[in-house]
Structure 1
Amino acid sequence: MNQKFKQLFNAAKNLGCRSESEVAAMIMKGYHIFVNFTTKFQKQVKCTDLRQEPVNGKIHDRKSMGEDVFWAIRGGSATSFGVILAWKIKLVRVPPIVTGFNIHKTLEEGATKLIHRWQHIAHELHEDLFIRIVAQNSGDKSKTFQATFEFLFLGRHDKLIQLMNESFPELGLQAKDCTEMSWIQSVLFFAGYNKEDPPELLLNRTTTYKSSFKAKSDFVKEPIPKTGLEGIWKMLLEEETLALLLMEPYGGRMNEISESEIPFPHRKGNLYNIQYLVK
């Protein structure tokens, strides 16, 4: 598997996945991971064929297995049908320079108001702009709260600032907040590495994340009112361990794909996905 991933990595360095699991998620489901929200991202990876070996040892492609099985395999449970030997995927190019940044806000700095505003606009932002939120407690006895706005924009920072001033001026984005880099550097950046680190680090299958956690998700169709958000923050601060919410927008290309086109149905009508996680 590591050799297969190296081949995929070297052939498509602009894909931007952090691990084998994210490669599979993008190919099979077009799922809501960081790299494929906008129209360009969602069009970036499209599975057009595959080779699969079921239990009887006969190798099938899309034509011989039939459209129903091909559809089912793309639902994220390919191992239920056999071993996937190869994927055939269609890519599109991304710009040579993208912009990423993280902005941190506390409750005293207006995090609640900003998150409430984000709920109304994140799914309608420019197709090249992705903004998600990580809202968490400090995980210690100090019981502090912080919301991190994580951005990725397919382009340079000057265009990004212009778009943000038009769509989300409340956040106050400035040039000093932005980091310009290549697409593969952005993968390192958001995976917690330095953008100058060699991209081959992404081939390391030994995880540095050792602690266990419990998580579940919901799909949000209506914005949560400010009083509801304040109640959530109170619950986070009452936890005796690290607890966080991942809030990731839908909209864009996600709205253009019918719920029956691929097995992942949660698309049009959802504002964002919210994941609750406790470590």
Structure 2
Amino acid sequence: MREAHKNDTEANKGLIEQKPVTSKWAKISFVCGISVWAIFVVGVIVAGLLTIPEAVTSWRGAKTISTGFVVILVISTISLSSFAFIIGVISLVIIKVKEGVVKGTGLAVAGILSSLLYLVITITILAIGTAEARLLAHKEVCRLNLSELRKAMLVYANNHDGKYPRPDKWCDLLVQGGYVTEEQLVCPGGGKDRSHYAINPNAEPNSPPDMVLLFETNEGWNQFGGPELLNTENHKTHIRGYFQILFNNGRVRFLWTDQLSELKWKVEENE
């Protein structure tokens, strides 16, 4: 009887002295959460090195390879960080359920926070990049529209005694005459209205080359006027807005609002 009691006491003592085991899931979460940063840094360095051949040999394929590599890098690191986050949460649940038997809360929390921080930063950068890409696309379409409108205005002038369309009917005359389509009068950043451009009524084919011919404005039709109609909302960034101007020489520029004083709207008497 005493021998059995002694054995039970020793067994209980062994259980009490048994140390908790570190959760393997917590270890995996921690390693993945930290590794994703190392992989990203190394990947960015490699992507930069891939662009060197283009700078040295003018081989344009290097940029394509570098871009593809970055895309794969971002997708893989986002997947890895998501995995680290999920495994970290699972390990915390296991540690809670098997409290005293399994440990590793610190590793799991570190893995979760590291992966979560990476996800937040990466998704934020991607969101900003997507918005900027959309703005650039709108800007390019708008620039092409203005360039085509300039060509249409010249063709119209050649067919009408060297004069641009009447300011109060310029949209109607260009569209009805088949010089442009209504789509070319729309800036994608301004919505789906009929036109986002206005004409400077002082401009003629023989006006100075740096005089404003067409410019961006709010939605409307057959609009004409001066700087009071300028609109910066079509290409508004998170910092400030800008507008695009078509000059009489066919040049298209985008300008910030503080550059408004640089524009020429009419011929001065001394010119």
TM-score range, shorter chain: under 0.3
Bigger Cα Rg: 2
In terms of fraction of residues, the more strand-rich structure is 1
Structure showing greater relative contact order (alpha-carbon pairs closer than 8 Å, 6 or more residues apart): 1
In terms of fraction of residues, the more helix-rich structure is 2
Q: With the length of structure 1 as denominator, give the TM-score of the two structures.
A: 0.21
Q: With the length of structure 2 as denominator, give the TM-score of the two structures.
A: 0.21
